[in-house]
């Protein structure tokens, strides 16, 4: 009789370099018996090509890969045991670790090892990518309809409130539709090739949204 158990867990948004990737793979490899027979794979998806590396040493030797990689999958397998670290999700990819094997204890150990390690490398915006931004944006967009229905006819809305509301909606819409690019759930840093503005575009977007929200509140008080 063969028994197969599968477990998975969401990971916090993280960013690691090649050195950290090597350490993680070594820790995961130690969970298998006879580690010399483990099949390893680092799959990287680029806009026009896909790369498959057998180990970190092979990845280091490839000179044409630079910058930050946000679409990749890491997995180790031997016999009926498998550990996979990937992104999953139709609307917005989320970092996930999954494990399959013949016992709950082994799967739980593999997942906890991965989670504990990557928890140390979570990025500052890890809370933002799982926030219900879409619902919040939906509520903001429908605020004018609600206000018109509640306020007496002929009520004039202060222009500062209107400008602040429009700026907030625009900023949040930008962050929502481009958050996969601005706030990747998993990042593998090969080299630092990006400009200062590109590296901090996510921070700029959140600051603009915050300033817009503050402007809306100030405008509301001024308009009273």
> pLDDT value at position 202?
60
pLDDT at residue 211, rounded to an integer: 62
CB contact set of 159 (below 8 Å; sequence gap of 6+): 219
Question: What's the pLDDT at 214?
Answer: 59
Nearest-10 crossing angle of helices 143-150, 133-141: 40
For residue 26, the domain's CATH number is 3.30.310
User: How far is the C-alpha of 200 from the C-alpha of 183, rounded, in Å?
Assistant: 10
Q: What residues pair up with 179 in beta bridges, in sequence order?
A: none
**C-alpha triplet 165, 152, 137: angle, nearest 5°:** 25
Q: Which residue has the tokens 């206000």?
A: 147
Res 92: pLDDT: 67
Task: Please tell me whether residues 105 and 157 are part of one structural domain.
Answer: no
Same domain, yes or no: 90 and 148: no
Is 176 found in the same domain as 146?
Answer: yes
Are the C-beta atoms of residues 94 and 87 closer than 8 Å to each other? yes
Tokens of 25: 């793979």
Same domain, 12 and 73: yes
In a domain? residue 212: yes
* Domain stops at, among 72, 92, 119: 119
* Residue 121 backbone dihedrals phi, psi, to 5 degrees: -120, 25
Rounded to whole angstroms, the Cα distance separating 71 from 185 reads: 9
* 107 plus 138 within the same structural domain: no
Contact yes or no for 9/38 (Cβ under 8 A): no
Quick check: is 71 in a domain?
A: yes
Residues 48 and 100 in one domain: yes
Instruction: Tell me whether residue 97 is in a domain.
Output: yes
Q: Are residues 137 and 190 in the same domain?
A: yes
Tell me which residue range forms the domain holding 199.
133-222
**Residue 109 pLDDT:** 95
Identify whether residues 90 and 21 lie together within a single domain: yes
Residue 94 lies in a domain: yes
Task: Tell me the CB-side half-sphere exposure of residue 45, using CA atoms within 13 A.
Answer: 8
Do residue 91 and residue 9 come from a single domain? yes
Q: Per residue of the chain (224 residues), what is the pLDDT tens digit? A: 677 889 999 999 999 999 999 999 999 999 998 877 899 999 999 888 999 999 999 999 998 888 889 999 999 999 889 999 998 766 667 899 999 998 999 999 999 999 999 999 999 888 777 777 778 778 778 877 776 667 677 666 667 677 777 777 777 777 777 777 778 899 999 986 655 555 555 666 666 666 665 555 555 555 45
127 within some domain:
no
Considering the domain architecture, whether residues 139 and 114 belong to the same structural domain is answered as: no
Residue 190 contacts residue 67 (beta carbons within 8 Å): yes
Same domain, 108 and 42: yes
The dihedral built from the CA positions of residue 60, 65, 70 and 76, taken in this order, carries a sign that is negative
Distance CA 92, CA 152 (A): 41
Say whether both 188 and 211 belong to one domain: yes
């Amino acid at each position: 009789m063969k028994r197969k158990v599968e477990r998975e867990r969401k990971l916090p948004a993280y960013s690691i370099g090649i050195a950290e990737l090597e350490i993680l793979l070594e820790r995961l490899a130690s969970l298998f018996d006879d580690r010399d027979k483990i099949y390893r794979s680092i799959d990287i998806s680029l806009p026009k090509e896909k790369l498959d590396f057998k180990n970190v040493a092979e990845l280091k030797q490839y000179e044409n890969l630079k910058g930050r990689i946000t679409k990749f999958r890491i997995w180790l397998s031997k016999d009926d045991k498998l550990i996979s670290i990937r992104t999953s999700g139709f609307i917005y990819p989320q970092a996930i670790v999954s494990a399959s094997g013949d016992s709950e204890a082994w799967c739980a150990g593999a997942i906890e090892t991965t989670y504990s390690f990557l928890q140390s490398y979570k990025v500052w915006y890890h809370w933002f990518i799982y926030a219900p931004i879409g619902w919040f944006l939906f509520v903001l967009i429908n605020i004018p309809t609600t206000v018109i229905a509640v306020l007496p006819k002929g009520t004039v809305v202060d222009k500062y409130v209107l400008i602040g509301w429009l700026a907030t909606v625009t900023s949040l819409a930008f962050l929502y539709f481009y958050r996969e690019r601005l706030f990747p759930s998993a990042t593998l840093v090969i080299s630092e090739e990006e400009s200062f503005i590109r590296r901090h575009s996510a921070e700029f977007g959140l600051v603009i949204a915050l300033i817009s929200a503050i402007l809306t509140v100030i405008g509301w008080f001024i308009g009273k």
